[in-house]
Amino acid sequence: MAPINLVLIGFGNVGRALARMLVAKEAELRQVYGLEFRLTGVLTRAHGLAIASEGLPIEDLVRGVEAGGRLDEFGRTKPLAQLDQNLRLAQAQVMVEVTPLNPRTGEPALTHVLTALEAGVHVVTANKGPLVYGYKTLRDLAAQNHLHFLFESTVLDGAPVFSLFRETLPAARLLGFRGVLNSTTNFILGELEAGKDLEQAVRAAQALGIAETDPSADVDGWDAAIKVAALATVLMDSPILPSQVKREGIRGITPAMAREARGAGRPIKLVCRARRTASGGLEASVGPESLPWGDPLASVSGTSSVIHFEIDMLEGLTLIEHNPGPQTTAYGLLADLIHATRNPAG
């Protein structure tokens, strides 16, 4: 099989983890799946752009960026101003979009995905913005152009959530879900239980690299609300914006409250919920709850995440992801890449 040309938009921790994975899995991808991926473009804001339709040296790119260098020196073709032009220069067949999330508009990821699909390029993304702010348009455009638009890594990193319903639960209707979907707040709540105040707990999360310099998106529940919106939009066919999710963060939880709840066998978790109503509507919320130990959501600790599905065909189904990192997210991207390039699009 001829090499499949791949372009990365974004080359942060997750993008570099995927690049390393492509190298580590190269022989297996070729021998087991008959696939060979050729990285022909990497486009970033912070590190410059590199395009070479004959292929870029992946390991050199990763080392160079991690040493503080720029990508420009690796490209043999001078990039142009517009994304669609650069996709053509790179002779892209698949684009992987891993830029940072803009929770208010989904941009620029939304435009990146739209541009690639209009250009006849399959899209794999870890960015929730395009799902929340443009899913139906992007889904329909992909189908119209016989392309894949895949996004497994947007929720629960590499755990199979969207593909679980798409591929393995035919004729099943999702009635609702509950989950602990923001690993940063889960870690912070554990630090509060240990006696740290919120500021100290946030600093510990930042030291681990799981919290941003401005932690408000996690602490105030916005990241969790975006994940609720993405799941409801895709899996329940109930489009909802993050601003429409009833939301409460964890700023009101004190160390004393966290310790007391843990001691009583009812630890506090930031719980995401969505459920169909009797009238056919949707109720969606994010907020701290004190859960009994028998609840599957109560057992996750550290940076682990969990989601429990209520399905008309099953009494319940729970997925737990243990302490994910950039490599976990990268695996979700790799799984989507394999699916997109081995299976015909609808």
Domain ranges, ordered by start, for the chain: 4-158+327-342, 174-323
The pLDDT, as a whole number, for residue 22 is 98
Confidence (pLDDT) at 345? 86
Burial (Cβ within 10 Å: 0-12, 13-18, ≥19) of residue 126? buried
3-state SS track over the chain: CCCEEEEEECCCHHHHHHHHHHHHCHHHHHHHHCCCEEEEEEECCCCCEEECCCCCCHHHHHHHHHCCCCCHHHCCECCCCCHHHHHHHCCCCEEEECCCCCCCCCCCHHHHHHHHHHCCCEEEECCCHHHHHHHHHHHHHHHHCCCCEECHHHCCCCCCCHHHHHHHCCCCCEEEEEEECCHHHHHHHHHHHCCCCHHHHHHHHHHHCCCCCCCHHHHCCHHHHHHHHHHHHHHCCCCCCHHHCEECCCCCCCHHHHHHHHHCCCCEEEEEEEEECCCCCEEEEEEEEECCCCCCCCCCCCCCEEEEEEECCEEEEEEEECCCCHHHHHHHHHHHHHHHHHCCCC
CATH code of 4-158+327-342, in short, is 3.40.50.720
Q: What residues pair up with 314 in beta bridges, in sequence order?
A: 311
| N- to C-terminal Cα separation, the chain | 22
- Please report the pLDDT score of residue 209 as a whole number: 85
Q: Which residue has the tokens 């190269």?
A: 26
Paired residues of 208 in beta bridges:
none
Of the candidates 52, 76, 18, the residue with the CA atom closest to the CA atom of residue 26 = 18
Burial class (CB in 10 A: 0-12, 13-18, 19+), 233: buried
Q: Angle at Cα 275 formed by Cα 272 and Cα 281, nearest 5°?
A: 130
- Judge contact between 319 and 297, C-beta under 8 A: no
Sequence-distant (6+) residues with CB within 8 A of 28 are none
Architecture of the 174-323 domain: 2-Layer Sandwich (3.30)
55-80 confidence digits (pLDDT tens) = 999 999 999 999 999 999 899 899 88
pTM for the full model?
0.94
pLDDT at 147: 98
Identify the active-site residue in 136, 196, 227, 269.
227
- Which residue positions in the chain have pLDDT lower than 70? none
Q: Are the C-beta atoms of residues 249 and 219 closer than 8 Å to each other?
A: yes
Catalytic residue flag (residue 227):
yes
Q: Which whole-number Å values give the CA distances from 38 to 42, 125, 165, in the listed order?
A: 12, 18, 30
Report, in angstroms and rounded to the nearest whole number, the Rg of the chain calculated over CA atoms.
Answer: 21
How far CA 78 is from CA of 61, 75, 86, 199, in Å, comes to 16, 7, 9, 46
Beta pairing partners, 268: 290
